[in-house]
Chain A
Amino acid sequence: KAGVTQTPRYLIKTRGQQVTLSCSPISGHRSVSWYQQTPGQGLQFLFEYFSETQRNKGNFPGRFSGRQFSNSRSEMNVSTLELGDSALYLCASRRQGLDTDTQYFGPGTRLTVL
């Protein structure tokens, strides 16, 4: 069974640009969560989607947004990029979104903002 896939794996952008990252969950998984990982702040929750609806959101500015499609694939978008947005963006999927469902992470997209 294929794992969580994220594209692209690496991205370089400049300040002010916008970026879209993609995540394909494990087949059959309906819940997708996004996390930002930086050396200073560690792993921080961005948002979670379940059945195309945003179920929960972390403490990030409105420049960070996401969506989920009917096939459970998810995208996140960051507009007006800032230097501090440089990070590893991780996507995780779960089968049904229940407490006892294991959450599996993808390899991440490394975003560098210049």
Chain B
Amino acid sequence: GQQLNQSPQSMFIQEGEDVSMNCTSSSIFNTWLWYKQDPGEGPVLLIALYKAGELTSNGRLTAQFGITRKDSFLNISASIPSDVGIYFCAGQPGGMEYGNKLVFGAGTILRVKS
């Protein structure tokens, strides 16, 4: 079945640093999504990507849909303390047989260096 490999598993950031994380798969996805989840809450959509090669920004966040449709990355520039949380990539396989099913990566935990 489809699987997403998300890395890194966790990372420490200092305020002001840029952050990068990515997801790869052996399967093709029609849509890539990036979510952030805070403790006790559901995932909140950060960026949605619908076309191979697409590069999209949302404030300090930038994400790209890989040209092979098998990968995506998320960059956070000039990180701030409230960026701490768990970030998930999600891919939608496409095709009527999958409906709106999303396949999720295992998540990247962002922590603040003390």
Q: In the complex, what distance in Å separates the CA atom of A99 from the CA atom of B48?
A: 11
Q: In the complex, what distance in Å separates the CA atom of A35 from the CA atom of B101?
A: 9
B67 within 8 A of A: no
State whether A45 and B48 are in contact (beta carbons under 8 Å apart), knowing that A99-B30, A106-B42, A108-B42 are contacts in the complex. Answer: no
B102 within 8 A of A: yes
- Is B31 touching A90 in the complex (CB atoms < 8 A)? no
Q: Total interface residues on B, using CB and 8 Å? A: 28
Q: What does the 1/0 interface line of B91-114 toward A look like (CB < 8 Å)?
A: 010100111111111110000000
CB nearest to A50 among chain B residues: B99
Q: In the complex, what distance in Å separates the CA atom of A32 from the CA atom of B92?
A: 15
A55 within 8 A of B: yes
Q: What does the 1/0 interface line of B21-44 toward A look like (CB < 8 Å)?
A: 000000000110101000011111
Q: What does the 1/0 interface line of B65-93 toward A look like (CB < 8 Å)?
A: 00000000000000000000000101010
Summarize A's interface: helix, strand, loop or mixed: strand
- Is A33 touching B101 in the complex (CB atoms < 8 A)? yes
A21 within 8 A of B: no
Residues of B within 8 A of A33 (CB): 100-102
Q: In the complex, what distance in Å separates the CA atom of A43 from the CA atom of B107?
A: 9
Cβ of B95 to closest chain A Cβ, rounded Å: 10
Q: What does the 1/0 interface line of A95-107 toward B look like (CB < 8 Å)?
A: 0010111111111
Residues of A within 8 A of B30 (CB): 99
Q: Could you say which of B33, B40, B99 has the most chain A C-beta atoms within 10 Å of its C-beta?
A: B99
A75 within 8 A of B: no
Cβ of B10 to closest chain A Cβ, rounded Å: 13
State whether A56 and B40 are in contact (beta carbons under 8 Å apart), knowing that A42-B107, A99-B31 are contacts in the complex. Answer: no
The residues of B with any CB-CB pair to A shorter than 8 Å are: 1, 30-31, 33, 35, 40-45, 48, 50, 88, 90, 92, 94, 97-107
12 contacts across the A-B interface (CB closer than 8 A): A42-B106, A42-B107, A43-B43, A43-B104, A50-B99, A50-B100, A56-B97, A56-B100, A100-B50, A103-B100, A105-B45, A106-B42
